[in-house]
Structure 1
Amino acid sequence: MRELEAGGIPFLVGGAYAFERYTGIGRHTKDFDLFLHPRDVERALAVLAAVGCETELSFPHWLAKARCGDDVVDLIFSSGNGVALVDDDWFRDSVAERVLDVPVRLIPAEEMIWSKSFVMERERYDGADVAHVLRACADTLDWPRLLRRFDAHWRVLLHHLVIFGFIYPCERTRVPAAVMRELMGRLDAELTRPARERACQGTLISRAQYLVDVEYWNYTDPRLAPQGNMTSEERARWTAGISEDGPRTTEQPAPKAA
């Protein structure tokens, strides 16, 4: 962190450190998560390489890594689905803190909720993290900004808010009634209005479990430009990375009965 500061590269601390700061829940993790604006990633890698770290651009649409001895630093500048792109607002609304006795700034709670809300893999589901951040921070969240962050993906936010009320019945009124009415009003307006495009938005919440839909059943993939922020090459590389995280269960349509 000191090297990045000396190099004039702004960054935010996320991951386990920020999660503990917001929720009081500590966890051991092998990686140290730093969030950077995309424009600063190459400079950050150069600074870390100059002090002896092994660096790589792991996935060009969202993640770089630096290995410094036994330590691994994740340099995050978007999200795996390409939705939660780090922009200047992350820094404007960040929170001052000290980490490892270094004065730093943490990612905002709103952006933590936004980025974690889309992680719904078979092997990893961040819904509990979202619920714990909501429980800890609901009274101080910038709810209008959170709604703007989710934008067209507001159903994902509604999903987590409904589940929050199930998890914590005694806490559910801490979600502003105006927010729930706004989202439920949007839901009501869509009940008889199906979308025109044949898209499978499941790829935004799991890179593996909805491949069958886009590979076999001709649904469009909203991760791809112009609807999303990923290129076909970036999607292919991100999909290939599934096997690096563990065995992949191959899904395909079952053969039809004779």
Structure 2
Amino acid sequence: MSHTPNDDFPELIETMKRAAAALRDAEVPFLLGGGMAAWARGGPPTDHDVDLLLRERDAELALEALEAAGMRGERPPEGWLLKAWDGDVLVDLIFRPAGGPVDEAYFDRASELEVVALPLLVASTDDVLATKLLAMSEQDPDYRPVLEIARALREQIDWALLRERVDESPFGAAFFTLAERLRILPDAHETNHRVVPFPTRRARASGDVSGPA
């Protein structure tokens, strides 16, 4: 089964490349996060913005680097991220996602992958799912993206660790009920070890943005 990206996905890719180059030149450590990280690991293409994870102490320098690259910076009042606009495409510089601040553990769990011919540190699937689940609220309980990611990347997930991280959230607990009933959650004996294949790394390196086969 193939995933067909929306019409805006190539623009997201170009913005990701420009933002990554600007932060690399400014020597700001960062991770590709959110839906783009899931896509880079073999999941479905995202139809949202470009999420970059970084330590809070680097956030202002990162925004300045993106502004120097021609993007329009924004400092929203929320206090857990900064934003930059590349035309109509949004880059979120996230330093304090739901579940706790970006720290060394995020970088330790990440993997260096080639994404459209760029070597990037990509957030772990566990971190992508945990931050999405912990950010859910009664006003926006949309499980479609997390279920799509979980089904596509089920062998890359440390299910026991993910349950530990999100189970106190009612939305995290509900996710596990859905994953079990939809037969996404592996059998118990399968969750005792973690397998992390990257079958689509070559396609990402070649610049194919059509999603995994």
TM-score by length of 2: 0.67
CA 1:22/1:98 → structure 2, altered by over 3 Å: closer, same or farther? closer
Which residue pairs with 1:106 in the alignment? Answer: 122
> 1:158-197 alignment to 2 at 5 Å?
158-168=173-183, 171-172=184-185, 174-176=186-188
Tell me, in whole angstroms, the C-alpha distance in 2 between the residues paired with 1:178 and 1:70: 43
More contact order relative to length (CA 8 Å, sep ≥ 6): 2
Q: Which deviates the most, 135-144 or 98-107?
A: 135-144
Contact 2:163–2:176 (Cα < 8 Å) also in 1: no
Distance 1:121 1:154 in 2: 10
Identity percentage over the alignment? 28
Q: Which residue of 1 aligns with 2:166?
A: 150
Deviation sequence 1:218-242 (CA, Å, 0-9, x none): xxxxxxxxxxxxxxxxxxxxxxxxx
Query: Are residues 70 and 154 of structure 1, via their aligned partners in 2, closer, same or farther at CA, if it must alter by over 3 Å?
Result: closer
Compare CA radii of gyration and give the structure with the larger one: 1
The CA deviation string for residues 186-216 of structure 1, in whole angstroms up to 9 with x for no partner, is xxxxxxxxxxxxxxxxxxxxxxxxxxxxxxx
Aligned residue for 1:56?
74
Q: What is the rounded CA distance, in whole Å, between the counterparts of 1:61 and 1:20 in structure 2?
A: 27
Residue pairs, 1:98-247, within 5 angstroms: 98-121=114-137, 124-150=140-166, 153=168, 155-168=170-183, 171-172=184-185, 174-176=186-188
Picking from 71, 77, 80, the partner of 2:95 is 77
**Residues 177 and 162 (structure 1), Cα distance of their counterparts in 2 relative to 1, 3 Å cut:** farther
1:43 and 2:55 matched: no
Question: Structure 2 unaligned runs (5+)?
Answer: 1-19, 192-213
**CA distance 1:53–1:119, change in 2 (3 Å):** same
Q: 1:127 to 1:23 in 2, by over 3 A?
A: farther
Match of 1:89 in 2: 105
Q: Are the equivalent residues in 1 in contact too, given 2:72–2:85 (CA < 8 A)?
A: yes
Distance 2:180 2:164 in 1: 21
Distance (Å, rounded) in 1 between the aligned partners of 2:100 and 2:115: 24
| Corresponding residue number in structure 1 for 2:208 | none
Per-residue deviation, 1:75 = 0.8
Answer yes or no: is the 8 Å Cα contact 1:94–1:107 preserved in 2. yes
Number of aligned residue pairs: give it.
Answer: 172
State the TM-score, normalized to the length of structure 1.
0.57
Corresponding residue number in structure 2 for 1:246: none
Distance 2:162 2:150 in 1: 12
